[in-house]
Structure 1
Amino acid sequence: METSQFIKRDRAATSQRVTDALEQILAEEGLQGVSITALAKRAAVSKVLIYRYFGNIEGLLAYYISQGRMVAHPSSAFLAQFQPAHPRELAPAWSTQALRLFRQYRASRPARAILQATVNTNDTLADAVNKSVDSELSKLVEEVAFIKGDDYQAAAAILVGGLSYLTIQAQLDRPVIGLDLRSEAGWQRIEQAVEVICQAFAQSAIHSPTAHLQLNARPESATQW
């Protein structure tokens, strides 16, 4: 039993070293700098061990993304407080989560490198990355939608897809519709627009005959966050 626990701890520690090395390389060189050789050297582990633990680069990136490095999933306790208690809280809940996610992307060079890689074409590594990121985003949307019966997935795809594109364009130092996405003023305008869009989506859901809002039964006084 003690030997088994030691092996598990050693594997966890090694996996942490490798994913930390991956994050450092992504920050410094982007996805194009990631290789088994570079990772082994940075993490001070053998290439054989990386292959044994993760299979290949695609497997390592999938593991990295699944650990919340790209999309952090809220805890049950947070969701219990975050879930709207009144229909008017639906739009702020959506915009808060969307803006929190993309503020994280804007602040994280590794996250931006992965996000940029998802739009590459004819690239098996980019396809694998995109699949992993989309899986994590789909889980997050499901967790914070707080609605059934309406096509919230399409609404979320528009919002997340648009913000992803804008984040990538900012990374490339390209304006969009005249907005300077490298400036805080430009992103402040984007964030204000996100809040307006979420208000419109929420109003549509609230008045839809097919939508069912999943509201929290807690007292409204507890909804402030």
Structure 2
Amino acid sequence: MATDPKSRDRAKTQTAIVAAARDVLARDGFQGFGINAVARAAGCDKQLIYRYFGGLEGLVDALGADFATWLEDSLGPATPAATYGELSERLILGFMEALRGNVLVQRIAAWEIADPSPLVARLTVARGGAMMAWMAKTRGDLVPPAGVDAPALNLFLIAGVQQLVLSSAAVGSFSGVPLKSDADWDRVRAAAVRIIRAVYGA
């Protein structure tokens, strides 16, 4: 069955608008982010943004869905883990590499603290939802060892990874420890794995 040309055009325009929204957000932050700026960057009439996304909040939700797809892809296939320790390692190390490689998501993470606006909150919810969905698929029927508060431990490690990545981007170190070279990050990965295996077992 042939695809409706109008549907193809709409999908193409929506993709272009979301890409333009990413570009504007990366360049200007939320202070310069708006319907007019995105429409100019996308080379389209701003009415199309209202028609396809319902306005600025809908556009941000589309961005959130785009970031959620990126995160799930970055964490790798959501195939069931053999042990809870393997699950935690895949989550923490995957998130570390994903965040290190995406400057815009780093900025959004910083805005969560420095400028916790409703629009930023929408992106935060989308990212958290994507991580939880990946975890649910990968965890399967696994349960953490008795007495281990796995959600709290993962929260602690994710927060630590996020802080280290942001500090690396801002000043190249954290608390006097360098975070610039591959060797520096090898140390961080090794420390994370050691913590996880100490709690869950190898």
Structures share a fold, TM > 0.5? yes
User: What does residue 18 of structure 2 align with?
Assistant: 19
Identify if the C-alpha distance between structure 1 residues 202 and 56 changes in structure 2 by more than 3 Å, giving closer, same or farther: farther
Of 36-45 and 119-128, more deviation after overlay is shown by: 119-128
Identity rate of aligned residues, in percent? 23
User: What does residue 4 of structure 2 align with?
Assistant: 5
Q: CA deviation at 1:16?
A: 0.8
Identify if the C-alpha distance between structure 1 residues 153 and 7 changes in structure 2 by more than 3 Å, giving closer, same or farther: farther
User: What does residue 196 of structure 2 align with?
Assistant: 198
Q: How does 1:39-58 map to 2 (within 5 A)?
A: 39-58=38-57
User: What does residue 218 of structure 1 align with?
Assistant: none
User: What does residue 104 of structure 2 align with?
Assistant: 110
Q: In the TM superposition, what whole-angstrom CA distance separates every residue of 1:63-100 from its partner, at most 9, and x where no partner exists?
A: 22323454125899x444x532xx4xx43443234222
User: What does residue 63 of structure 2 align with?
Assistant: 64
Q: CA deviation at 1:123?
A: 1.9
Identify if the C-alpha distance between structure 1 residues 100 and 152 changes in structure 2 by more than 3 Å, giving closer, same or farther: same
* Distance of 1:107 and 1:74 partners within structure 2: 10
How much is the aligned-residue C-alpha RMSD, in angstroms? 3.0
Q: CA deviation at 1:124?
A: 1.9
* Distance of 1:134 and 1:79 partners within structure 2: 16
Q: CA deviation at 1:174?
A: 5.9
User: What does residue 159 of structure 1 align with?
Assistant: 157
* Distance of 2:137 and 2:92 partners within structure 1: 13
User: What does residue 139 of structure 1 align with?
Assistant: 133
* Distance of 2:180 and 2:50 partners within structure 1: 38
User: What does residue 186 of structure 2 align with?
Assistant: 188
* Distance of 2:180 and 2:65 partners within structure 1: 29
* Distance of 2:63 and 2:15 partners within structure 1: 9
Higher relative contact order (CA 8 A, sep 6+): 1
Alignment counterpart, residue 95 of structure 1, candidates 89, 93, 100: 89
| Contact residue 60 and residue 119 of structure 2 kept, 8 A | no
- SS, match of residue 171 in structure 2: coil
- SS, match of residue 45 in structure 1: coil
Segments of structure 2 that go 5 or more residues without pairing to the other structure are none
| Contact residue 26 and residue 109 of structure 1 kept, 8 A | no
| Contact residue 24 and residue 110 of structure 1 kept, 8 A | no
| Contact residue 69 and residue 130 of structure 2 kept, 8 A | no
Q: In the TM superposition, what whole-angstrom CA distance separates every residue of 1:185-218 from its partner, at most 9, and x where no partner exists?
A: 3322211111112212323xx9xxxxxxxxxxxx
Paired residues, what number?
Answer: 197
Identify if the C-alpha distance between structure 1 residues 57 and 181 changes in structure 2 by more than 3 Å, giving closer, same or farther: farther
User: What does residue 120 of structure 1 align with?
Assistant: 114
Give the TM-score normalised by the residue count of structure 2: 0.80
